[in-house]
Amino acid sequence: MQNNTSLQGMLSIGALICLAVGWFNLLSPEINHILYNIVFYILIGLSFFFAAQTYPNQNHKYIGYAAALLCIVGPFLPANLQIVKTIGLFGGVILTFFARPAYTRR
């Protein structure tokens, strides 16, 4: 469980770095496009995949896997269908807030 959480955290940080590099146009336009529109969604989708494995509710797991799939596949779809990556992103973020297991303090 700890390794899964660490991996998810590293993927999320990598996704945020890609987002920042693309947002501020720190590199060439081609590389910014790849980082901002493709790599970001792949990394965040992988993060959602590993997060889904920690959800106690089976239905939440399936929704988390679906959000991950939409984020990973979305950037490779034709331009008019790339809205699915945004739907996956919003679905995964919302699910992350509501489906996390409740940890008790000791």
Each residue of 49-101: pLDDT tens digit?
999 998 889 999 999 999 999 999 999 999 999 899 999 999 999 998 888 76
Matching residue, tokens 């799939």? 69
Domain boundaries, the chain: 2-99
More confidently predicted of 2 and 10: 10
Q: How confident is the model at residue 6 (pLDDT cuts 50, 70, 90)?
A: confident
Give the model's pLDDT for residue 45. Answer: 96
Contact 34, 49 (CB under 8 A): no
Tokens of 10: 């590293």
Averaged confidence pLDDT in the chain:
90
DSSP-derived secondary structure letter, 35: I
Please state the pTM of the whole predicted model: 0.88
- pLDDT tens column, 18-35: 999 988 998 999 999 999
Question: Per-residue pLDDT averaged across 4-20, rounded?
Answer: 90
Q: How confident is the model at residue 1 (pLDDT cuts 50, 70, 90)?
A: low
Q: How far does the chain reach from its first CA to its final CA, in angstroms?
A: 18
